[in-house]
Structure 1
Amino acid sequence: MKPTAGGGPMKYVDVQTARIRYHESGDPQAPPVVLLHGIGRSLEDWDAQHPLLDTDHRVISIDLPGFGLSQRMPAPTTLSTLADGVWATLDALGETRPVHLMGNSLGGATSMQMLVDEPARVSTLTLVNSAGFGKEVTFALRALAIPGVGRQLLRRIDKVSAPRLERSVFAERAMVTPERVAMAIKLSRQPDFAAVYLEVAQALGGFRGIAPRWRAELLPRVARHAKPTLLVWGERDRILPSAHLAAARSAFPHASWHLFPGTGHMPQIERPEEFNKLVRPLLAA
């Protein structure tokens, strides 16, 4: 097995017709925590949380189907197919207990869909700079909806453009390491990367921003289950602005929340210890 960027083992499991990559740490008998990344990203976005959580949890991070180094599912990629793929992956790993779900960006929206689809299998929900709470999104994602432009942009992720993309997700420039740039280029060269990226982007929005219809349908269904929920945002998020946190609090009045100052789109990376301290009470409850 090859190592992940964070030094852990690279493992795969066969799910339907796809090979899905995952990283697991901790005691398999401990309460399970499942970590999901954002659009165009990979499970490496959760590497810093594994050693902080796996002292008393089974921690599983997953490359969403068609992203990271996972193969795509045969059906067009939507929130539903992503959620189905994660549940199927957990089944294949023998994890059928209720899980603590944590999702960043697209991973947050996928986590909400998973809760709606299988509420009995979810213990808690942690949404980190999650998609689903407003139409505003970075221009780079909206540009993908322009006919003929999206695929060309996704094919031009290289040593020049990759650092710019990485800088857009972090408030601190030091986070843009050579390893993260190299991983971004590697991910962009996977066979299904551009097709799956465009399918998701077009299913969830367009040039005007994130579409309202799926948000209006999903959020009330999530709220009806009222699972213990934590909303987390970075104040300097340039992908999904921190103003979305107010909409998230309105949609889920039962939820706890926290805004990290001076932090970008991935607080779990930029503020790993603080993030871990923040989620601990929810996991314990």
Structure 2
Amino acid sequence: MSVDEHTIDLAGSPVFFRSAPARGVPAVYLHGVPTSSEDWLPFLAAAGGLAPDLIGFGRSGKGGHLDYTIGGLADAVEALLPERLNLVGHDWGAVVGLELAARHPDRVAALALLNPLPLVEGFEWPAPARRWRRPLLGELAMGATTQWLLDRELRRASPAWPPERTAAVWRQFDQGTQRAILRLHRQTDKRALEATRPRLGRLSAPALVLWGELDPWCPVALAAAFSALLPRATVERVDGAGHWPWIERPEVIDRALAFLADARA
């Protein structure tokens, strides 16, 4: 399936997104940190939908004036949402997706969340995030990052991470993206999703949470606490996979898409 590329102005910033014709209810795919909508190309090719680059990442705007909070990232893509949609999110993108679902519970048909950032009771920031959250130390750590160091960290999170993807991420890992990462981590409480719990309680859509068990950033031990945010959540562990489970286990793509298709049936 052909995937098209677009850039439009939304919420005071250019927003880049990829799209392909969808069968049935379209999915909106939200990537995590530090990647882009390129993560979702296999999903778009298989089932269509829409995948934006969140502000601060990929080919979207990275201005210093932008709001790099969960709410700000949601604001920047909210106008792209179809009237009826499935939400697919990974890492920070899953958190942004839950914010959008909490705002529009009646528009969401189903959710598929992959290794979401579990900002719930029991979560502790991983070592890189702890550095980023500290003024000056975070800037020094970002400034010292090389492609080799980035590749090492991505492979630690997902052992089957392909080196060509590191090269693509590195090309877009500029000062704007580094600033967005620092601000996002500094302005987010590690229990942020607890405040969203009452609004998520109105969500009637079924949710599938797919969790690579080897993820050092988003520990699978918090899967139950995270899924308790959603009234109709099912959790499935992905054996032998890390932070990007669909890269290590391509059958995860089929599982997620089959769930979304069954949810609308």
The alignment status of 1:169 with 2:157, answered yes or no, reads yes
CA deviation profile, 1:9-51 (whole Å, cap 9, x unmatched):
5431221321111111124x74210111112211111122222
2:183, 2:165 → 1: CA distance? Answer: 24
Which residue is equivalent to 1:197?
181
Residue in 1 aligned with 2:223?
Answer: 245
Give the match for residue 181 of structure 1.
166
* Amino acid across the alignment from 1:83: A
Q: Distance in 2 between matches of 1:8 and 1:195?
A: 29
Q: 1:130 to 1:151 in 2, by over 3 A?
A: same
Query: Tell me, what secondary structure is at the counterpart of 2:159?
Result: coil
Letter of the 2:6 counterpart: K
Change (3 A) 1:188 1:219: same
From 70, 79, 83, the counterpart of 2:70: 79
Matched, 1:266 2:249: no
Q: Which residue of 2 aligns with 1:208?
A: none
Give distance in 1, aligned partners of 2:100 and 2:93. 10
User: Is the CA contact 1:155–1:188 (under 8 Å) kept in the aligned structure 2?
Assistant: no
Query: CA-atom RMSD, angstroms?
Result: 2.1
Q: Which ranges of structure 2 fall in alignment gaps of 5 or more residues? A: none
Please name the residue that 1:31 is paired with.
25
Q: How does 1:10-29 map to 2 (within 5 A)?
A: 10-27=5-22
The letter for the 2-side match of 1:44 is E
- Which secondary structure does the structure 2 equivalent of 1:142 belong to? helix
Runs (5+) with no aligned partner, structure 1: 1-6, 206-210
| 2-structure distance, mates of 1:160, 1:85 | 32
Distance 1:164 1:62 in 2: 26
CA displacement 1:71-116 (0-9 Å, x = unmatched): 047443111111111112x1xxxx5321100000100000000011
Question: What secondary structure is seen at the aligned counterpart in 2 of 1:251?
Answer: coil
Letter of the aligned partner of 1:198 in structure 2?
A: L
Q: Is the 8 A contact 2:203 2:231 kept in 1?
A: no
SS, match of residue 228 in structure 2? helix
DSSP-derived class of the 1:46 partner: helix
Distance in 1, Cα, partners of 2:8 & 2:231: 38
Q: Within 2, Cα distance between the matches of 1:243 and 1:253? A: 19
Distance 1:164 1:9 in 2: 32
Q: Given the two structures, how large is their TM-score scaled by the length of structure 1?
A: 0.83
Q: Please point out which of 92, 98, 101 is paired with 1:106.
A: 92
Moved over 4 A (4+): none
Aligned counterpart in structure 2 of residue 122 of structure 1, from 108, 118, 128: 108
Q: Contact 2:208–2:259 at 8 Å: present in 1 too?
A: no
The equivalent residue for 1:53 is 47
Question: How many residue pairs align between the two structures?
Answer: 259
Identity, % of aligned positions: 27
